[in-house]
């Protein structure tokens, strides 16, 4: 998700956090992607996260998207 996505504000528990409590951005050393917050699939609230992600997939399937990357 992008840092300004509503989920970041509404469900910060869906994302990885640094020890200081801030949300951790994506990294692929040596690169840092400060504009991407990867979701934490191991969150205790995983069911709600998965339902939200399924809603996104269904939205795009409903609009004819056949391949996701």
For residue 27, the model assigns a pLDDT of 94
* C-alpha closest to that of 11 among 20, 1, 35: 1
For residue 18, the model assigns a pLDDT of 96
In sequence order, what are the residues at sequence separation of 6 or more whose Cβ sits closer than 8 angstroms to the Cβ of residue 2?
A: 8, 35, 36, 37
pLDDT tens readout for residues 5-41: 999 999 999 999 999 999 999 999 999 999 999 999 9
The whole-model pTM stands at: 0.85
Average pLDDT over residues 38-66: 97
For residue 4, the model assigns a pLDDT of 96
């Amino acid at each position: 998700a992008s840092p300004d996505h509503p989920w970041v504000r509404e469900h910060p528990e869906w994302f990885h956090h640094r020890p200081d409590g801030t949300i951790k951005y994506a990294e692929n050393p040596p690169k840092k992607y400060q504009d991407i917050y990867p979701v934490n699939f191991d969150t205790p609230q995983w069911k709600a996260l998965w339902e939200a992600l399924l809603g996104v997939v269904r939205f795009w399937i409903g609009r004819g998207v056949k391949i996701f990357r």
